[in-house]
Structure 1
Amino acid sequence: MVMTMEQFREILDGNRRLTIRTLEAFPEDKLFTFSPVEPLRPFSKMILEILDIERAYIRGIALNEWEYSPSFDGISTKENLLKGCHEIKENVQKWWPKITEERLDTVEKDPFFGGEMSHFERLHNALENEIHHRGQGFIYLRLLGIEPPAFWER
Structure 2
Amino acid sequence: MVMTLEQFREILGGNRRLTIRTIEAFPEDKLFTFAPIEPLRSFSKMILEILDIERGYTRGIALGEWEYSQPFAGVSTKAELLDSCHETKEDVQKWWPKITEERLHTVEKDPFFGGEMSHFERLHYALENEIHHRGQGFIYLRSLGIEPPAFWER
Same fold, TM-score > 0.5, yes or no: yes
In structure 1, the residue matched to 2:56 is 56
Does residue 123 of structure 1 match 2:116? no
1: CA distance between counterparts of 2:38 and 2:70? 22
Aligned counterpart, 2:31: 31
Structure 1 residue ranges without an equivalent (≥5): none
2:76 equivalent in structure 1:
76
CA distance in 2, matches of 1:109, 1:152: 35
Report the Cα distance in structure 1 between the residues aligned to 2:98 and 2:36, rounded to whole angstroms. 41
Residue-by-residue CA offset, 1:56-76 (whole Å, 9 max, x unaligned): 000000000000011101100
1:103 maps to 103
- Correspondence for 1:86: 86
Task: Give the count of matched residue pairs.
Answer: 154
Q: What is the CA deviation profile of residues 29-73 of structure 1, one whole-angstrom value per residue up to 9, with x for unaligned ones?
A: 000000000000000000000000000000000000000011101
Superposition CA RMSD, Å: 0.4
Q: d(CA) in 1 for partners of 2:73 and 2:64?
A: 24
TM-score computed with the length of structure 2 as normaliser = 0.99
Q: TM-score, normalised by structure 1?
A: 0.99
- Structure 1 runs (4+) deviating above 6 angstroms are none
3-state DSSP class of the match of 2:65? coil
Q: Give the share of equivalent positions with the same residue, in percent.
A: 86
Unmatched segments (≥5 aa) in structure 2: none
